[in-house]
């Protein structure tokens, strides 16, 4: 087990990509602390039914609470080896209709929340791995209505590289995962926003234009995170790794051979 005896923190681990990461980390032997704002956290902990996982309901915008929880995790399990900044939000809205409040909602959670948890955790990391969940949306592609989300996910690439440069000589590696379409509640909600009467048609349409003809699974993303968290990737830092079934590969969706 590649993460045996490691202590990991996963934000937004109650569902979606975060849950996939938690499941794989547990399978690979890690102890995992989930930080999540959603009330679904209780149900997730019950379903996981493991002595190696604990959960904290917290809004990562709350710096004082985040600091308190990270200190508590360190006291319970000792040195923290892995941090996965997965928590994030996405609300589709055309740019000119985007309120300042909704803009700041994205910025405060996706950027500042990641900043808060990372800064609170670093004093307890002697060496290890930090993994930031960015996206292909922002750094590589974007659709209408995604300006706020795309901006925050692009910012996380800069955060990853800047932090990696500072921490390289401390044996702490920092990398980013850039998912394409993974079957998560966020994608399902976006599909409902696009076509409330038939969201499945939206999902099927997405899958049809992905070269691998399907969306990814949360476990597949979890496997990538486990690799980046383990010693198998000990010489990899400051990298942005795409996992998207080649959805960003085609030059155009209209030309065929």
Residues annotated as catalytic are 149
Cβ contacts of 90 within 8 Å, gap of 6 or more: 106, 146, 149, 186, 190
3-state secondary structure of 157: helix
CA 207 to chain centre: 21
Report H helices in 6-98. 16-27, 41-48, 63-77
3-state secondary structure of 40: coil
Running DSSP on this structure, what letter comes out for residue 216? B
Burial class (CB in 10 A: 0-12, 13-18, 19+), 58: buried
């Amino acid at each position: 087990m590649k993460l045996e005896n490691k202590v990991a923190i996963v934000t937004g681990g109650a569902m979606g990509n975060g849950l996939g990461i938690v499941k794989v980390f547990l399978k690979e032997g890690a102890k995992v602390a989930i930080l999540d704002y959603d009330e679904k956290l209780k149900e997730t902990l019950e379903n996981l039914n493991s002595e190696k996982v604990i959960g904290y309901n917290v809004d990562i915008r709350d710096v004082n609470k985040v600091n308190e929880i990270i200190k508590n995790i360190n006291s319970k399990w000792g040195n923290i080896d892995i941090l996965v900044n997965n928590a994030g939000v996405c609300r589709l809205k055309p740019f000119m209709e985007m309120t300042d409040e909704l803009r700041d909602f994205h910025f405060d959670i996706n950027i500042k929340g990641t900043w808060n948890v990372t800064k609170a955790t670093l004093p307890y990391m002697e060496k290890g791995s930090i993994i930031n969940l960015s996206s292909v949306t922002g750094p590589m592609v974007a659709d209408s209505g995604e300006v706020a989300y795309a901006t925050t996910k692009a910012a996380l690439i800069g955060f990853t590289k800047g932090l990696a440069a500072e921490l390289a000589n401390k044996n702490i590696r920092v990398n980013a995962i850039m998912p394409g379409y993974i079957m998560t509640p966020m994608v399902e909600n976006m599909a409902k926003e696009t076509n409330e009467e038939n969201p499945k048609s939206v999902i099927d349409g997405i899958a049809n234009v992905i070269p691998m003809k399907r969306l990814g699974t949360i476990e597949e993303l979890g496997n990538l995170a486990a690799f980046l968290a383990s010693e198998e990737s000990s010489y990899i830092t400051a990298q942005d790794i795409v996992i998207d079934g080649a959805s960003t590969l085609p030059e155009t969706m209209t030309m065929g051979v």
